[in-house]
Amino acid sequence: MMNNIFLWRFRFSKVFILLLLILTMSFVASCELTDDFKVINAEELKKMMDEKVPFLLVDNRTEYEYRDVHIPGAINISQEKFRFLDKLLPEDKAFPIVFYCRGSG
């Protein structure tokens, strides 16, 4: 009896993990970038700032890193605050927003 319960749980967990993986892959596949997004480098950001182009600058690092040093004019929206993103960003969806972070490498 105990072996049957263990075997059932093992099979169930394998099926559950497989379904979770399929759902995750489906979600990721549906999240493709559009032409609305553009990657810029530091020089382009500096040019935007020098030319006083209106945009929102968002520092995506931790609050500690932000307090330590950040680009003047940037606001901090760390990963922990992303659930409140809609309340923190401009209502005008056409308004340019520049995100920056520590980087991945």
14 and 63 part of one domain? no
Residue 5, number of CB atoms within 10 A of its CB: 9
Mean pLDDT across 60-66: 91
Element (H, E) at 87: helix 85-88
pLDDT in tens, 4-55: 555 445 454 554 454 444 544 444 444 444 557 788 888 999 999 999 999 9
> Could you give the number of structural domains in the chain?
2
25 and 59 part of one domain? no
* Residue 37 resides in a domain: no
Measured between alpha carbons, how far is 58 from 60 in angstroms, rounded to an integer? Answer: 6
